[in-house]
Structure 1
Amino acid sequence: MKKQNLKRIITAGLIVTGILTIAPSAKAEYTPNTTNLCYTKGTSLIMVLKLINEKLHHFDNNDASPSELVNNNSDSNNIFDQSIEQAVGEAIKSRNQKYYYMGEVATEGHIILEVEEKDDLVKAYTISSFGYFGFENGIFTIVSGSGAIPTVITFSKNANNEYSLLEYKEPIDGDDCLDSTKKMFPERLWNRVLSGNDLVYSKLVESQKSQAEEYLRKIGRTAQVNPNYVERKLPDINVSASNKLFSELTKYDSLLNDCPYWIGSRERIENGIRIVYETSQSKSSDGYDLITFKKSKADGTIIEERIYKIVGSEPELQQ
């Protein structure tokens, strides 16, 4: 069964599930303007995000990841304005969405601890989080994502306030995570980065939830939005039969792989059409358990279906 890629959702997240209260020492006044956030790989432009009147618009892009180039240390005044807030948010989504099990909409949460600007380089010290939302059992919930991760994002900025992403840096996983974090952040920020504070972590989650709610408004759908774990009921069948159905047969049958491993449903947008994958359990007329895997359109039209009869430890395909 395809597993969700929950990269560091626990290990890295627990290290910095919160930060001490953050109060920027300076805040620049913001005047709406036009800003481009440009992602490059080598010398090739791969993505441009133009900020026009506080709204981001996507322009030419291809399927490449932002490059990680330089690590600059500078010492300058902090700058906090709306354009850098949106640039950081978009960088988090663009950088992370290829590394997680894909959901219906990508969301992010971040807190900027400090911004250093020197010449044409802008470095943002942040706590960031990422989450893909999707429908599970009719609830719009996080299907993959990260915890709160200390992240240093470096941009170059030209005279026209055009930002190019130079580096997106996270701590090393495992035993070296703490030391790696300290090397990334100046000592004056260590307490904010490493001190646990559930309130700050909840702000990151709330930001993701708000973006998910906005997405639902745009598509005109009403649903519960839950950024936490959605309760799942597993099939009540023989363990060996369950392992064969949800571990072995899924390797050879894409329908079984796409359907949930729990009793319930998940949704996906495929070629612009909303598809519902559902797994259900019932009884046959002779008293055996039946596990049904079904792919259908949102209007209930069945596209594909498999029914397995559980006979002892063996799942037997009925249709």
Structure 2
Amino acid sequence: MSDKTKGESALKSKDVITNSNKVSITSLDSKVLVSSESENSKTIDAAVSGAIMERASKYKQGEVATEGHIILYSEEKGEVVKVYAIVSYGAFGFENGIFTFVSGSGAIPTVITFTKNENKEYTLKEYKEPMDGSEYTKSIKNMFPKNLWYKVFNSSDFPEIRKQQEGQAGKYLESIGRKAKVSSENVEKTLPNINVEASNKLFSEYTKFDSELNRFPYWLGTLEEVQNSVRYIYETSKSKTDDGYDLMIFTKKKEDGTVVKKHKYKIVGTEPKLIE
């Protein structure tokens, strides 16, 4: 899922943590986004990371927020620093045992403006993205200097940006002691081959009465969630009843395999019938 909200946006106050270049990043309430004793370019890079991570933090789906960016150009006029970049933000989570990109944005041309004080502390002033639809090209031309238009419209940096995000996701897995494949590519999914009307009822209507059904994958496979420091695996599987009907099985279990909840729906014509 990609971010549908474009245009100017003011980031809300929220702590951002990074280990990049030993910088300290604090909330916008304290008027300081990032400070560092490292060289200026690294400081700007860290400030950009912090600003993007603020954006990424709004994605509730997934386990860890990530960001990636390529700085095309930056300019400093007095205390104002303006950065022209291609950025992406979003979250990684487990699908079918693969740690993958589950929500967030594609590559977005972005202009981020900071103010810098005498202590080389950067405070976010403006975070601006292009408009959607027919206004997209025009808004980019208004945002970026003409000499950057070609780079913006012909950017080949997206693989590098995704690589940055995969690297952050991999470090997160290391921090929790988990070994798994990390990939920003779409995970292959197999949909349950059942009556279409019954499937729509099961995955749309029934979730209104059993909200936890929303946590299960719509495909045959698994999702994972960490709730109150406990990891749960949500699995959707398909079988057959003894009398030959399709059987949809939804199993919630802990990491050690302990089954917490299991629901079975017998598909009778267009109706899913709960039998367990």
TM-score over 0.5 for the pair: yes
Aligned to 1:97: 57
Is the alpha carbon distance of 1:56 and 1:290 closer, same or farther for their aligned partners in structure 2, counting shifts above 3 Å?
farther
1:152 aligned partner, one-letter code = V
1:7 aligned partner, one-letter code = D
Cα RMSD, aligned residues only: 2.5
Aligned to 2:128: 169
Is the alpha carbon distance of 1:85 and 1:256 closer, same or farther for their aligned partners in structure 2, counting shifts above 3 Å?
same
Q: Deviations over 1:206-264 (max 9, x none)?
A: 11111111111111111111111001001111111111101111122112111010000
Deviation at 1:89, TM superposition (A): 1.2
Aligned to 1:30: none
Which of 295, 302, 305 lines up with 2:262 in the alignment? 305
Q: Deviations over 1:105-151 (max 9, x none)?
A: 11111000111111111111000011210000000101012111100
Deviation at 1:96, TM superposition (A): 3.2
Deviation at 1:296, TM superposition (A): 1.5
Aligned to 2:36: none
CA distance in 2, matches of 1:165, 1:110: 17
2:48 aligned partner, one-letter code = V
Partner of 2:118, secondary structure, is: coil
Deviation at 1:294, TM superposition (A): 1.7
Give yes or no for contact 2:20–2:46 (8 Å, CA) kept in 1.
no
Aligned to 1:183: 142
CA distance in 2, matches of 1:225, 1:52: 20
% identical equivalent positions: 52
Which of 177, 184, 202 lines up with 1:245 in the alignment? 202
CA distance in 2, matches of 1:80, 1:241: 59
Structure 1 residue 314 and structure 2 residue 274: aligned?
no
Q: Deviations over 1:183-216 (max 9, x none)?
A: 001111111111243xx21111111111111111
Structure 2 segments unaligned to the other structure (5+ residues): 30-38
Aligned to 2:21: 54
Aligned to 1:88: 48
Structure 1 residue 116 and structure 2 residue 112: aligned?
no
Aligned to 1:144: 103
Aligned to 2:116: 157
Aligned to 1:205: 162
Correspondence list, 1:21-40, <5 A: none
CA distance in 1, matches of 2:101, 2:18: 27
CA distance in 2, matches of 1:163, 1:59: 10
Deviation at 1:51, TM superposition (A): 7.7
Deviation at 1:7, TM superposition (A): 2.1
Give yes or no for contact 1:280–1:293 (8 Å, CA) kept in 2.
yes
Which of 3, 16, 19 lines up with 1:7 in the alignment? 3
Deviation at 1:52, TM superposition (A): 8.2
Give yes or no for contact 1:289–1:309 (8 Å, CA) kept in 2.
yes
Partner of 2:205, secondary structure, is: helix
Give yes or no for contact 2:79–2:115 (8 Å, CA) kept in 1.
yes
Residue correspondences, number: 265
Aligned to 1:21: none
Aligned to 2:180: 223
Q: Give the TM-score taking structure 1 as reference length.
A: 0.77
Structure 1 segments unaligned to the other structure (5+ residues): 13-38, 63-78
The worse-fitting range, judged by mean Cα deviation, of 171-180 and 114-123 is 114-123
Give yes or no for contact 1:255–1:295 (8 Å, CA) kept in 2.
no
Structure 1 residue 259 and structure 2 residue 216: aligned?
yes
The higher relative CO (CA closer than 8 Å, separation ≥ 6) is in: 1
Give yes or no for contact 2:97–2:180 (8 Å, CA) kept in 1.
yes
